[in-house]
Structure 1
Amino acid sequence: MSKLVCPLLLLCSLPAVDPLFCYTCVFPAILPIDCIRFPIKCPREQVCLSSRAVGEKGDLHVVLYEKSCIPPSLCGVTGQKYTMGLNFTFTNECCNTHLCNGAETPATPYWTVMLLTLLMSYTCCMK
């Protein structure tokens, strides 16, 4: 009986590992406040991500924001990705407390979003 008690006591004394909850976006947004976000449970040993990607093509300048879970090895990474016909430079920022990637940066004025939408429509129609 005493052979069973020691391992059980050891197991009970180990701290419970709570899963980390982070926000995720349904799709990337052009404003931090546009992100339709909801909390998700991250896989073990992942942290919360807030990513910002800047894309340019001629005079067109687009910034996309994304939130999710990510392995710590990808934190602080800057790189390139191609989407929507644009080359984007992205930067990953991470944090490791519950829902820490929910902070919003100051919003861009509404007219800027309208102008961006019109420019993208005009660019698409010119092809």
Structure 2
Amino acid sequence: MMPCLFSFVLLLCLLPSVVPLFCYTCVFPAISPLDCIRYPTRCPPGQLCLSSKAIGQKGEFQVVLYEKSCVISSLCGITGEKFAMGLNFTFTNECCDTHLCNGASAIPGAFYTGALLSLALSLLFSQ
């Protein structure tokens, strides 16, 4: 009996997780990490959480934009350039793969709030 129970528990541990990944998404790109009006979003299967920073410059004028969303893995860990709004932007994409991992870490209580929200959303969508 005990070997059967052990085998069953081991099988459960090896099964892929069916809980969807939730990431923060900004309503619009922000000029400060704290200005990002973010909300949790359920990502499509296979996507990761993105935190992107773009620095735009034209002469002496410089603007920094922050964005959060879900993204396909091929867009993770890249740096590139874009031209938009008359500015040359250099962007960096960073990804992570745990619930709400792309949130701002500047607010100490945000981790606990995010963890509780993530748990509640996981329970809601796993039924």
- TM-score normalised to structure 1 length: 0.69
**Counterpart of 1:63?**
64
Q: CA RMSD in A?
A: 2.1
Task: Say yes or no: does 1:36 pair with 2:13.
Answer: no
Inter-partner Cα distance in structure 2 for 1:92 and 1:102 = 14
Question: Could you say if the C-alpha distance between residues 104 and 60 of structure 1 is closer, same or farther in structure 2, counting changes exceeding 3 Å?
Answer: farther
Cα offset, 1:83, TM superposition: 1.6
Could you tell me which runs of 5 or more consecutive residues in structure 1 were left unpaired when the two chains were aligned.
Answer: 1-11, 107-127
What CA deviation, in whole Å up to 9, does each residue of 1:76-120 have, x standing for no partner? 1111112221110100001110000002459xxxxxxxxxxxxxx
Aligned to 1:46: 47
Structure 2 counterpart of 1:81: 82
Structure-2 residue corresponding to 1:5: none
Contact 1:29 1:65 in 2 (8 A): yes
Partner letter of residue 44 of structure 1?
P
CA distance in 2, matches of 1:76, 1:94: 7
For residue 58 of structure 1, report the CA deviation from its aligned partner: 0.6
Whichever residue aligns with residue 64 of structure 1, its letter is L
- Matched residues, number: 96
Q: Give the Cα–Cα distance (whole angstroms) in 2 for the partners of residues 74 and 15 of structure 1.
A: 24
**Matching residue's letter, 1:51:** S
